[in-house]
Amino acid sequence: MRRLFKTLLVALCMVLTIAVAHAQRPHIIPEPSYIDMAQGTFTITEKTKIVVYDEAWDAAEVFAQDMQQYFGSKKPLRCVKRGSGIKVRTDKFVPEEGYELNIQPHEIFVTGGSEAGIFYGLQTLRQMIVEYNGVVPCCFIADEPQFAYRGVHFDVSRHFFSVEEVKRYIDILAAHKVNRLHWHLTDDQGWRIEIKAYPELTEKGSMRKETLVGHGLNPENWDGKPHGGYYTQEEVRDIVAYAAKRSMVIIPEIEMPGHSQAALHALPWLGCEEQIVDVWTTWGVTPEVLCAGKESTYEFLQNVLDEVVELFPSEIIHIGGDECPKDRWKECEHCQAKMKAEGIESEEELQGYLVARIEKYLNTKGRRIIGWDEILEGGVTPTATVMAWRGAKIGVYAAERGNEVVMTPLPICYFDFYQTESREGEGLHIGGHINFEKVYGWDPYEGITDEARKNIIGVQCNLWSEYLKTMEDIEIQLLPRLAAMCEVQWATERRDESTIREKMNILRKFYEANGWHYAPYYFDGRK
């Protein structure tokens, strides 16, 4: 009888231990690969030290600053070379962007395959600190991402955002383990990056005289207020370095040959007829494009890219390539002469010729090109990366022909769309309807053969700013849908629909702790 009682007592303790461990399981987004709960807790305070091995100082210092904000203290957590507390180190046996988080009663170990892995492990710990108010449960977490490219796009051409606002944007992305910021720097409505060889680009091309009021499909009224701004090269370097400390690469986009009216306003000789045009004050697609027939256009693009590659260490440079009307080219003596001289049969092939020349030039700089999927139309080499935006089928096609592909198809990846069917209280947006649930349930591998699957290198969501004038507007469109997207990017094959709402209610607390604005619709049950 005594032995039976003892057996029952042990069994009861085991059940209680499992129940406690289950109740303590952290609500991490994106979902980690593996979590094993243990008994005990570790309390993190503003006096906790971060012990840094292997020169992983950037990740540690960013975490220390984040904790300073969380605790509201005057100084960040101390980063030291020895002692006890949160110990960060690299290990070659851990996947490069992966990490292991081992929380014990007396210390915490964050081990990454690289400093990026350490950074992501600390972001997981950061979420847990907010969830448990600094008293984090003991556990072991092993984690790594599904995709190597986890991107978010930011359009600063349609509406300009300050250096501090761009950094805030980077902070939000970094907390979601995003590792690529696609920075859309030039378009018809504004040229936003200083190019020393052509000061007119920012002196003239960075400012439009007014902005459309209302929807771009019905342009009737303008606000009469000048809008503009640009980033100096010093500011660009600062932002690039800021992102790098958060394990994020910035991919600059310099639009060509379309979406270039701001450049044409600054330098009219870039056009086919050297026509005088304004920086565009409305949205959509303008017929004013760079002349693909003049050698001076190619010299201009090469000179611009010379300065761009000096500012951005990214291996790939985005050259746009989308939505380029060919009307001017059909009438242009220079373009038609170029087509005849090169044996080019169509204006679509002429754009392919331009893309090929730019790709070859960037290759001499040790860089590769990425472009919107229109670059496929004129023929493009297998070494170009294709950003599939006009539909997943185009991404499938590009992957099957051997190109690396970033999946970012309409409508699922367009966060400038409305978030509810009713649109009530959402303000003015471009159209469409993409809610949290649609993003979360998206399969970026749908329709892709096993052979082509290896060429899908990443997933990206896009945020165009035609109707987003303030940082609060930006954040509300981004959050919480970015959480759904980062689950797709990081944890595609381990998403669990049954747990996501509970996890999101915890992440909402994390957003509030950081002072980030977010849309309420998902939490209110609106679709």
φ, ψ for residue 521, nearest 5 deg:
-60, -45
- 373 an active-site residue? no
Fill in the amino acid letter for 437: E
142-171 per-residue burial string, b: 16 or more CB within 10 A, e: under 16: bbbbbbebbbbbbbbbbbbbeeebbebbbb
Least Cα distance to 471 among 459, 482, 460, 479 occurs for 479
Catalytic residue among 54, 210, 323, 348: 323
H/E/C letters for each residue in 232-291? Answer: CHHHHHHHHHHHHCCCCEEEEEEEECCCCHHHHHHCHHHCCCCCCCCCCCCCCCCCCCCC
Burial tier of 277 (Cβ tally within 10 Å: 0-12, 13-18, 19+): middle
φ, ψ for residue 491, nearest 5 deg:
-135, 40
Catalytic residue among 187, 194, 253, 373: 187
Catalytic residue among 27, 153, 176, 259: 259
- 259 an active-site residue? yes
Residue whose pair of structure tokens reads 């915890």 in the numeric block: 506
Specify the DSSP element, H or E, that contains 79.
strand 79-80
Residue 470 Cα distances to 165, 166, 213, angstroms: 9, 12, 15
- 323 an active-site residue? yes
Q: Is 450 helix (H, G, I), strand (E, B) or coil?
A: helix
Contacts of 387 (CB under 8 A, 6+ apart): 318, 370, 371, 372, 373, 405, 406, 408, 460
Q: Which two tokens stand for residue 511?
A: 């957003």
Q: Which residues are catalytic?
A: 187, 259, 323
